[in-house]
Amino acid sequence: MLSVVFAVLAALANATSSVLQRKGARRQSEDRSMSLRMLWDLAHEPPWLAGVVAILTGFVLQAAALATGPITLIQPLLVTELGFTLVLSRLLLRAGVHAREWSAAAGMTAGIALLLVSLRPRSGDVRAVPLLEWGLAGGVTLALIGALIVVAFRKHYAHRAAYLGIASGMYFGFLAALVSGMTAAFAGGIGAVFGAWQTYAVLVVGPLGFVLLQNTLRAGSLVASQPGLTLANPLVSIGWGVVVFGEQVRGGGWIAGQVIGAALIAACTILLARSPVLQGSEGATEEDEPSEEQAPR
């Protein structure tokens, strides 16, 4: 299926971006947040710039996937990003990969396969969603994201990175919903795309998500931020697909397979995120960072 190929390639591009941007972001101090000065400093880091190119490539590939498949199928496939991140961290940061990491990657792959087979998602009609329903769902999603960001900036180090990771994952799940609305307009021709409000919403929401991601990567190691960043995205996307877009998934006994698949993905994601490989040779562990009680106020 073409949409699956696009989704896997998007996951690979996103993983490349995560590793390169993390490598560049760690060279910058953490005394500034969500500022143009921060982006200006990062723009002088070649690995970070290469990561920007990779994330733009991933966005295009994800849009292509969402244009050819339901969001409940595409977004869970993006969880494979973490496995790709593992391999690329080994290649680019020269970290060793052990049996634990390979086992977790294999378990995650099995979990994704079980989840998708159990869901067997079928496309809904994104174009039929009323504007009021878009507004209500979008308002609830953004309110939750905003609350997480507020809590995050009251925390320090690992706790801040964890909350920002969840917020970023939810934000990109919301962005995927907007992209689904934009790509659905292609059925009416290129003119319909430029006439769709979702197209202009993506132009606003996309850059803001990019800034949020930079703060997430700078807040602490990938051990803290990556689980939330990886898992919140498909969860929000599945919610939008089923509740808002009317995409159909299997029920009955298949729910057990969905729960087991999701649990396996979550467990393997946490196991992989705790791997030293994802931090690189220079990555600080959470134990290396001051505790919240010790952190300066």
Give the pLDDT confidence of 230-273 residue by residue, as tens digits: 888 888 999 999 999 988 888 888 999 999 998 998 888 777 76
Triad 86, 38, 171: Cα angle to 5°: 55
Query: Could you tell me which residues come within 8 angstroms of residue 7 by beta carbon, excluding any fewer than 6 positions away?
Result: 61, 62, 65, 69, 73, 74, 77, 78
Among 56, 54, 76, 68, which residue's Cα sits nearest to residue 180? 68
Return the SS3 of 274: coil
Q: Are 73 and 3 in contact (CB under 8 A)?
A: yes
Q: pTM of this prediction?
A: 0.79
End-to-end CA distance of the chain: 52
| Residues lower than pLDDT 70 in the chain | 22-39, 93-97, 157, 220-223, 273-297
Total structural domains within the chain: 1
Tokens of 11: 């996951």
* pLDDT of 280: 45
Cα atoms in the 13 Å half-sphere on the side-chain side of 96? 3
Instruction: Check residue 162 and give its pLDDT.
Output: 83
In a domain, 41, yes or no: yes
Range of the domain at 187: 2-288
Span 123-138, pLDDT tens digits: 788 888 999 999 999 9
In a domain, 293, yes or no: no
Structure tokens at 133: 């329903």
Percent of the chain with pLDDT over 70: 81
- Identify whether 296 is part of a domain: no
Is 151 a member of any domain? Answer: yes
Query: For residue 295, is it within any domain?
Result: no
CA distances from 188 to 59, 89, 131 (A): 22, 42, 18
